[in-house]
Amino acid sequence: AQSVTQLGSHVSVSEGALVLLRCNYSSSVPPYLFWYVQYPNQGLQLLLKYTSAATLVKGINGFEAEFKKSETSFHLTKPSAHMSDAAEYFCAALNFGNEKLTFGTGTRLTIIP
């Protein structure tokens, strides 16, 4: 069964610094991959998705992620953190023919002024 691992349940970065949130998936067949952000008392907002087209995916709010099959990874980055980026981030995988998202445990991002 597919599993998604997010290294680091809490990440703190200074405002203006690089944001790097890690995500690894387990399946041998590359799935579709998604990054979502969740603000307190809100649902999940899609940041970006990989659906087997370009390996470098650009999303909203300046975020991007690179799919690396050899590393089974889909890490999320942003060159310069902003205070408004403070939230919880979830990586999710969807395997073909299985309409079910498998989520990682989430990473809470804190921005230090």
Partner 1 sequence: KAGVTQTPRYLIKTRGQQVTLSCSPISGHRSVSWYQQTPGQGLQFLFEYFSETQRNKGNFPGRFSGRQFSNSRSEMNVSTLELGDSALYLCASSSIPGQGNYGYTFGSGTRLTVV
CB of 83 to partner 1, least distance (A): 22
Burial letters 61-99, b for 16+ CB under 10 A, else e = eebbbebeeeebbbbbebeebeeebbbbbbbbbbbeeee
From the CB of 101, what's the least distance to partner 1, in Å?
Answer: 6
* Minimum CB–partner distance for residue 41 and partner 1 (Å): 8
* CA-wise closest residue to 74 among 107, 32, 17: 32
Nearer to partner 1 among residue 17 and residue 106 (C-beta): 106
Binding site for partner 1 (CB under 8 A): 32, 34, 36, 41-46, 49, 51, 90, 92, 94, 96, 98-103, 105-106
